[in-house]
Structure 1
Amino acid sequence: MTLQKTSHNFTKIAFIPLQTNLFHIVLFSFLLTFGASNIYSQDIVKKTKPIPVTQPKKAIPAVKEIKTPVIDTIKKEKDSVKTDSIKPKKAFLEGKVKYKADQYAKIDQKKKLITLYDNAELYYQDIELKSGKIIMDYEKSEVYAGRIKDSTGKYTQYPNFKQGSNVIEPDSIRFNFKTKKALIWNSRTDQGEFNVKAAITKKENDSVYFLKGARFTTSTNKENPEYYFQTSKVKFIPGKKVITGLTHLVIADVPTPIALPFAFFPMNKETSVSGLILPSYNDSNTRGFSLQNGGYYFALSDHYDLTVLADYYTNGSYGMRFESSYATRYKFRGNVNVRFENLINSERGYPDYSKQNIYNIQWSHSRDSKANPSSSFSASVNLGSSKYFQQSINQSNIGSSLNNTLSSSISYSKTFNTLPQARLSLSATHTQNTQTESISMTLPTLQFSVDRIYPFVGENGVKKGFFKNINLQYNLNGRNTINTTDSLFFKPQMFKDAQVGFQHSIPLSTNFKLFKYFSASTSVNYEEIWYLKTIRRSFDNNQNAVVDKTVNGFDAFRTYNFSASLGTTIYGTFNFGDNKKIQAIRHVMRPSISYAYTPSFEKYYDTYSSDGSGTMDTNKQYTRFEGGIFGVPGLTNSNTMGISISNTFEAKVRDKDSTKTEPKKVMLLNNLNFSTSYNLDADGVTALAWSPVRVSTGAQFFENKLNANFAATLDPYAIDNSGRRINKYNIENGGSLFRMTSSNITLNYSLSSKDKDDKKKDKQTTRNGGREDDLFGTATDINDNRQSLFDGSEEEGEDTISEFFNSKLPWDMTFAYSFTYGNNNRENKITGNSIMISANADLTPKWKVGVSTGYDFVQKGVTYTQMRFERDLSSWRMSLNWMPFGANANWNFFIGIKSGILSDIKWEKRNFPNR
């Protein structure tokens, strides 16, 4: 057989035993015959199955392969002798070896070497090796890889050793296929967030490495990092942990006195690892020295975790926080935060000593719509002490402290695919005013509805005309409402004051066209209200006052009403010519008139004596349903007519781009609305006929960057000296046609050096109820100061530094103005006039500054002001957040490593607000 040359596409070591001559063939035949005669002299057990003949595999000329002689060429059949003193030789490799090289692949049969040169590649089991030069000793089962020099004498084509998911880039490597051991010089590897470089690396087995003269860092610059940890000895288990000996921190190649006798770094790739969270040290003027945000992180499973944090102050104050996140793919996700603080001011015995407990509970839950398309469940909870965000000593969140309300909602809905379709929902809501400390809750709200039914629709299903459009539906609304305060929250008295009610409504309606251009609709609505509590009002002689006695038990009342509306749309276009800049103005007007009638339900009203005399003059009317959550039946007729006009103004403007033939549409005024109503049963004494006219409009300017909104209330009636409206028009009283009682103007303007459509929102601020913009300043997450103060700074990619006079400085600014006028009782004064500005700018590619401030022209003072400074130090971050004055005056300085795995390597200092 002719030998293949090394320049051929394929070379198989399996063909080496077939290199022979005639003498060897005769000798081999003689030995085979002699051996066979000895075998047949023994007792042979009959074989039931013939020995299959193995067909030789055809060579595939694509990739070079090395196969062991025993495995790939001769498959020996089992001997009939059960025991044999001669054991077959094991293959020196346990799998196929594939290789290739650009310049040459040289095989030295005497030395058992294969040499690959220039872009050499070698593949064996889960090992991939790429290098400039690879030498394989298949007798010793070893491989060596190293660099090569280019024409300039520079080393190129460094080895790249990959085993499984671990990649090492050394200067050279020596590896044994059998023992899996390796010796690596100047290795470089990425392990999680770490970049590791070592002078000598010894690979003990697939899971253990020993490093000598190693350094590891989170810097992206592997060759010249701005900082690294230097250690002499390291035990490294890829994907699990790093254990080091004496380790010290080096910054800018300058050793620092910061050192540890040993260090342990978890590096689990699949799940988070539990561990301690080191606290930060601070001091406060009112509570002494403190340790804050120390605790433990519990990686409970792949689906949920738990973080426990605590604060302690030397005056006895302390705080606890429990934070947990959970998620199951394609099912649900959410997080829970529970925060509690025991606050002590001053020292016991001093006049300013005080002690209080505050808390806050937040829960967010969302379910994937794919889990169950016919039902949904969601939760957004934010409740607790009304003064938590104003008084908490572990919060620096201006947006949350200025917010006046906390709200929560938990809801579940289910759709029943019946005919007609029905929907059921259960929800619990919570609204809390942080100023008055009043709380309103519904536990729960039940809503059930049945889709519209068209009883007069024909078989063709066409709904056209008065009769065919007649439809009805059924709605049920049940509530358990609780109104309480902070002091009674979740106490027995809170549940005793709960009110329960059910509202059943059956609306019957239709719509149709009238005289071709008018759209008309009519409806009749029937309602039935159920209550479980009513009142009995009477005069108590013992208390000498009118008292209400609660009557427990079922009671109900029934009402009905009628309404109709008629409206149309009028279009008008004013053309100025195609040569004009403004070619045309289009006016769309939508006038409508409505009528509503509700009769009197006086039968549900009783009388009581207001002074105990029992005379008719002192008797007053009341209904036992007063205070009910769905209102009370009306005592008098309601017979009103409503009038409203909606206007839209749009212009066609010649485009600045001369290549465009079509004009550009520009919105001038969006929804200029006028609305009022007339009481047909008004007597001019107890009720006036016309209600105030409400005007509202909005517009956008400068490519929709400036939003302007205006609203006003115009009263046609005059007022007397006591400020009460009288049945006399204002123009008859020497005034104008309308008396402006209130008005409001708001302007919002945002501009930046580049469009930021996907601007990140401040999640902490909005979650706690603050603003999405940063007009009140950005939230400082005290638990994690590694995050940037500015939106998008962590995701902008690499910085591009250009020439100084040609450099681009990204910036953005948000501007808001509010003006409120009040003249309800001839006070004729400006009740609100303030401006707020927030601006951020990149002074350099590494320096960012920002400010949020404002001025109140009525109170004549500067509003909440925040100044932000940040320096990007590549792998580190330095920031200063400063509120120079006000009730929340404080500052916070931080410098630390960005990487989460080294988040404890930081230094921060701050002072607390004087609360």
Structure 2
Amino acid sequence: MRQLHEFSSKFFFIAILTVASLFIVTSNASAQRLPGRVFTRPLTTDTIPPRINNGNTNRVIANPTRDTIPPGDSSRLLNDSLRGQKVDTFSLKLSKDTLDAPVNYYAEDSAVVFIHVKKILLYGKTKTEYQDITLTAPQVEIDQQTQVLTAYNKKDSLGYVLEEAQFKQAENFFTSDTIRYNFKTQKGLTVNTITQQGEMYVHGKTIKKVDDRVTFVKEGLFTTCNLDQPHFAFKANRLKVINQKLAVSGPAHPEFEGVPVPIYLPFGFFPLSQGRRSGLLPPTFATNEQFGLGLEGLGYYKVMNDYWDVKVYGSVYSYGGWLANVNPTYRKRYRYSGAFNFGLQRTKMNFKGDPDYFKNKSYTLTWNHSSDSRARPGTSFSASVNASSTSYNRFVPNSPQLNYQSLLGSSITYSKTWADKPYNLTVSANHSQNNLTRLVNLSLPDVNFAVSTLYPFERKEAAGAKRWYEQIGIGYNGSLRNQIAFYDTAFKLRNVIDTLQWGARHSIPVTLSLPPILNGAVVVSPSLSYSQVWINQTFRRKWNPITEKLDSTITEGFFVDHQASMGLSFSTAIFGTYQFKKSRIYAIRHVIRPSLSLNYQPDLSRKHFYTTQVDTTGYTARFSEFEGALFTGFSEGRYGGLNLQVDNNLEMKMRPKKIDPSDSTEVEEPKKIRLVDGYGFSMNYNFFADSMKLSTVQLYFRTNLFDKINITANAVLDPYQTDDRGRDIDKFAWSGGKFRPGRISSGNIAMSTSFQSKPKDEAKEQQKQQQNKNLGNDPLLIADQQRLLDYMRQNPAEFVDFNIPWSISLSYSLNFREQFKPDYSGFETILTSSANFNGSFNLTPKWNFSVNGYFDFDTKKLQTFQMSISRDMHCWQMSINVTPVSPYRYFNFTISPKSGILQDLKINRSRSYFVGY
């Protein structure tokens, strides 16, 4: 037994040793056969790198001789266990239900995770983000199995909402009591939701989000009021909203303050998109005493393409009158923009057979065009055309501003400048008409060509200081005009052509720049010029002893008149300062700027003047045969005179207020105050005149007191005595021992001021002013916007600014002239004066009262008086405008939404009538 046991132990030990040797040899041989590229391939693309025992690796590399196994590639030994193992996570198969992006969530209070049901609860100002979706709410529940997120609001013990759940995706934003959203399908369901689409707000008891564009609303409200309980809305049981495009509903009705109005619409269509869209233009109902009941503004707006659109609209009245307008607009960014309007008007006032029955047809034409200077540098084209029948504006209903407009004007201008050349060309066509006299003037074309000053004697390669003759400059100015005039009541083409007049003027100025003299105190400027005019006809008067009247004769042809002049002027400035020592006034400075010039002009026009008898007493007078020409001829006689002009201004410098010596703040600089902006006189003396060599003296004064009161005054001083008929004689007013400088023959004084309180929100006021400035300077502003902007500026009472609590503006004008009495007993002074006033007052934060008027002191009557009462009704506005005193009496009541998208949803009642001047 013992031998058997020993044999068995020996056999077992040999077997173990053999197996171990075979395993080691086999492993070593296997390692020798592994390719090296497997161990040198980088694994940096793996998002989860394999773990490697760096400690063991270091030991193997540091002590290779201690290994009983023949050494091989240590890297092969270390990486053998990784052979064939895929570690790149992108090669893993993902579930089809996996989201496209991670969901990031945050909770200020706490987060509770239920692992067994895969749910997460977030508490306290939570925020969840997924792609472009952001959701904030007091409490959120995330179900990872269904990928559904549910958000809840927070209420107090009384049921009032303390914090709402808010959802934002791209431009879409809404608040809700409960939000349920599926991340995978991107569908959602909300309860008691308010969402904004442009200017509109959509309220819904239940809202279902189908995709990122379409939403269905149950029991919805559609409004422009931004309150949770809107002042007004359109209510419908079902709504379909396409984001930023439109909203469509079934039967709908309006309600105010939650009270339904029994006016039902079969369906609702509400545009939500910004920009231009074709569609009908709804009319407004109006009443007018002369025209009857009417529908105004009914028409259609059509967007033709990205560059132009057209609006066709009109108005009809119960007495038979109507208006029709075609208004296309066009624009191309960085090139040009403009608008055109053509209107026809048929006026019928009262009924046929009535004594005040009236019927009339008229038209209007307007065109505005402007080009961008960046399109063609050096070239510009602009147009401002406003032409119409002389009776058109008078019969535009409910428009007192147009009814008053009696003067119209138009201008079309093309200008060209050449780069690096001194040339400038302007070609224009102009139009003017007087609706009272019915006279129309057309000037086309008018051509102006100018050459900037050239220096012909200047050296091309100058060395050293310029010589005096190099400062001689020559320029050129030329003008050509053509004009026709006619009365629109007697328009015939042949008669119009007979009124054609044309003329031209050429002027060549020569200048010389000289250095100042007397140590730079006096500036000397010599000058020389030659002018010439071309005239197409002469006009002469001749006394007819038979009819005892003046007969006139017009002779057509080509006539030329010349003028040459030369002069030498001296100008300087004299400063005087008076300083104060014991006063806050630091100093007062008086600046005198005299200018003296000597001029000579030869008589080159005597042959174009004639003398004729003008009345039965044999009194004669001299006239120019170029009287009434487009470019009148030059004056008769030589002129060699002295011109004197003196300008003054006064300034004051104030010391800063005294401060505590211990105060470390910087001391303010002395403040400059302009006391008088300017005052002075100008006059001239003609040495070659045979009588009355001294001209009248022009006096002027201007100042702006305290930067609030603007005062200007002008007067004419006549230095001569008069005969018994009030005509000047060759005797000075101070002759005969009289101490009298002369007689003030005419003058005027104008004063204006304005005051306003500080705005409630100064940042808002600055933003508004900058916005209006930008709109006024925007060359791409379409015609309708420009007309609305102009109307707002002309009628501020209808656009009340509640940010300014009150504002007042006053202006006064006084004109006077001396006139000889009819009985020749002496002079009498004719005075005309008037005052304008304008005021706006916020009676309460929501009520505003404004007035404006015009008072004539001659008639001692209030010529025009307008009142306006406005009420800010949050999302609505109300205004009452009354003109009780005016040739055109006017009354208007308007209540309308503030939002532009519902601008036609308004109540407008107007009445106007003409009472005469």
Residue of structure 1 in register with 2:27 after alignment = none
Instruction: Tell me whether 1:445 sits opposite 2:446 in the alignment.
Output: yes
Alignment deviations for residues 406-433 of structure 1 (CA, whole Å, 9 cap, x no partner)? 3333333222122x43222223333434
How far off its partner does 1:454 sit?
2.4
Separation of aligned partners in 1, 2:153 and 2:87: 33
Residue of structure 2 in register with 1:770 after alignment = none
Residues 252, 606 of structure 1: CA spacing in aligned structure 2 closer, same or farther, 3 A cutoff? closer
Q: How does 1:239-318 map to 2 (within 5 A)?
A: 239-269=244-274, 271-318=275-322
Q: Give the alignment's TM-score, normalised by structure 2.
A: 0.78
Instruction: Tell me if structure 1 keeps the 8 A contact 2:323–2:343.
Output: yes
Separation of aligned partners in 1, 2:316 and 2:296: 7
Residues 72, 562 of structure 1: CA spacing in aligned structure 2 closer, same or farther, 3 A cutoff? farther
SS at match of 2:901: helix
SS at match of 2:859: coil
Instruction: Tell me whether 1:704 sits opposite 2:711 in the alignment.
Output: no
Residue of structure 1 in register with 2:871 after alignment = 871
Residue of structure 2 in register with 1:75 after alignment = 91
How far off its partner does 1:189 sit?
0.6
Separation of aligned partners in 2, 1:106 and 1:787: 65
Cα RMSD (Å) of the superposition? 4.2
Q: Which amino acid aligns with 2:683?
A: T
Alignment deviations for residues 167-201 of structure 1 (CA, whole Å, 9 cap, x no partner)? 23222233334544322222221011111111111
Q: Which amino acid aligns with 1:819?
A: L
Separation of aligned partners in 1, 2:794 and 2:225: 17
Residue of structure 1 in register with 2:816 after alignment = 821
Separation of aligned partners in 2, 1:852 and 1:514: 56
Separation of aligned partners in 1, 2:221 and 2:795: 27
Alignment deviations for residues 604-661 of structure 1 (CA, whole Å, 9 cap, x no partner)? 64989999xxxxx9999975x6654222255532333322111112223445565756
Alignment deviations for residues 744-771 of structure 1 (CA, whole Å, 9 cap, x no partner)? 111101111227986869999x99xxxx
Instruction: Tell me whether 1:673 sits opposite 2:677 in the alignment.
Output: no
Match of 1:720 among 718, 723, 742: 723
Instruction: Tell me if structure 2 keeps the 8 A contact 1:185–1:201.
Output: yes
Q: Which amino acid aligns with 1:908?
A: N
Q: How does 1:283-682 map to 2 (within 5 A)?
A: 283-397=287-401, 401-402=403-404, 405-418=407-420, 420-457=421-458, 459=461, 466-487=468-489, 493-512=495-514, 513-516=516-519, 517-531=521-535, 533-535=536-538, 548=553, 550-551=555-556, 556-575=560-579, 577-601=580-604, 605=608, 627-655=628-656, 662-682=669-689
SS at match of 1:97: coil
Q: Which amino acid aligns with 1:670?
A: D
SS at match of 1:260: coil
Residues 203, 490 of structure 1: CA spacing in aligned structure 2 closer, same or farther, 3 A cutoff? farther
Q: Which amino acid aligns with 1:376?
A: S
Residues 536, 704 of structure 1: CA spacing in aligned structure 2 closer, same or farther, 3 A cutoff? closer
Instruction: Tell me whether 1:57 sits opposite 2:47 in the alignment.
Output: yes
Instruction: Tell me if structure 2 keeps the 8 A contact 1:786–1:896.
Output: no
Q: Which amino acid aligns with 1:411?
A: T
How far off its partner does 1:586 sit?
1.8
Rg comparison, structure with higher value: 2
Residues 628, 786 of structure 1: CA spacing in aligned structure 2 closer, same or farther, 3 A cutoff? closer
Residue of structure 1 in register with 2:226 after alignment = 220
Residues 149, 351 of structure 1: CA spacing in aligned structure 2 closer, same or farther, 3 A cutoff? closer
Separation of aligned partners in 1, 2:755 and 2:445: 44
Separation of aligned partners in 2, 1:71 and 1:227: 64
SS at match of 1:429: strand
How far off its partner does 1:435 sit?
3.8
Q: Which amino acid aligns with 1:729?
A: F
Separation of aligned partners in 2, 1:214 and 1:815: 52
Alignment deviations for residues 298-338 of structure 1 (CA, whole Å, 9 cap, x no partner)? 34445444333322222222223444554444444444444
Instruction: Tell me if structure 1 keeps the 8 A contact 2:192–2:204.
Output: yes
Residue of structure 2 in register with 1:904 after alignment = 904
Instruction: Tell me if structure 1 keeps the 8 A contact 2:441–2:485.
Output: yes
Residue of structure 2 in register with 1:18 after alignment = none
Alignment deviations for residues 798-830 of structure 1 (CA, whole Å, 9 cap, x no partner)? xxxxxxxxxxx8111001111112104354234
Residues 708, 906 of structure 1: CA spacing in aligned structure 2 closer, same or farther, 3 A cutoff? same
Ranges in structure 1 where 5+ consecutive residues have no aligned partner? 1-50, 60-69, 77-87, 612-616, 768-778, 797-808
Match of 1:730 among 719, 733, 742: 733
Residue of structure 2 in register with 1:232 after alignment = 237
Tell me the matched-pair count. Answer: 801
Separation of aligned partners in 2, 1:603 and 1:437: 37
Instruction: Tell me if structure 2 keeps the 8 A contact 1:833–1:858.
Output: yes
Separation of aligned partners in 2, 1:71 and 1:824: 112
Residue of structure 1 in register with 2:7 after alignment = none
How far off its partner does 1:706 sit?
0.5
SS at match of 1:722: coil
Residues 786, 228 of structure 1: CA spacing in aligned structure 2 closer, same or farther, 3 A cutoff? farther
How far off its partner does 1:700 sit?
1.5
Separation of aligned partners in 2, 1:74 and 1:849: 73
Instruction: Tell me if structure 1 keeps the 8 A contact 2:750–2:813.
Output: yes
Separation of aligned partners in 1, 2:490 and 2:268: 51
Residues 622, 857 of structure 1: CA spacing in aligned structure 2 closer, same or farther, 3 A cutoff? closer
Residues 786, 431 of structure 1: CA spacing in aligned structure 2 closer, same or farther, 3 A cutoff? closer
SS at match of 1:721: coil
Match of 1:99 among 91, 104, 117: 104
SS at match of 1:870: strand
Q: How does 1:742-821 map to 2 (within 5 A)?
A: 742-754=746-758, 789-790=796-797, 793=800, 796=803, 810-821=805-816
Residues 434, 619 of structure 1: CA spacing in aligned structure 2 closer, same or farther, 3 A cutoff? closer
Separation of aligned partners in 1, 2:323 and 2:464: 66
Separation of aligned partners in 1, 2:475 and 2:794: 52
Q: How does 1:106-185 map to 2 (within 5 A)?
A: 111=117, 113=119, 116-147=122-153, 158-185=164-191
SS at match of 2:740: coil
How far off its partner does 1:838 sit?
0.9
Residues 266, 632 of structure 1: CA spacing in aligned structure 2 closer, same or farther, 3 A cutoff? same
The percent identity for this pair of structures is 31
How far off its partner does 1:523 sit?
1.4
How far off its partner does 1:119 sit?
4.2
How far off its partner does 1:146 sit?
3.1
Residues 717, 604 of structure 1: CA spacing in aligned structure 2 closer, same or farther, 3 A cutoff? closer
Separation of aligned partners in 1, 2:787 and 2:845: 22
Separation of aligned partners in 1, 2:503 and 2:831: 39
Instruction: Tell me if structure 2 keeps the 8 A contact 1:546–1:610.
Output: no
Residues 871, 153 of structure 1: CA spacing in aligned structure 2 closer, same or farther, 3 A cutoff? closer
Alignment deviations for residues 472-494 of structure 1 (CA, whole Å, 9 cap, x no partner)? 12222222233344446795644
Separation of aligned partners in 1, 2:715 and 2:620: 42
Instruction: Tell me if structure 1 keeps the 8 A contact 2:367–2:384.
Output: yes
Q: Which amino acid aligns with 1:293?
A: G
Q: Which amino acid aligns with 1:219?
A: C
How far off its partner does 1:712 sit?
0.8
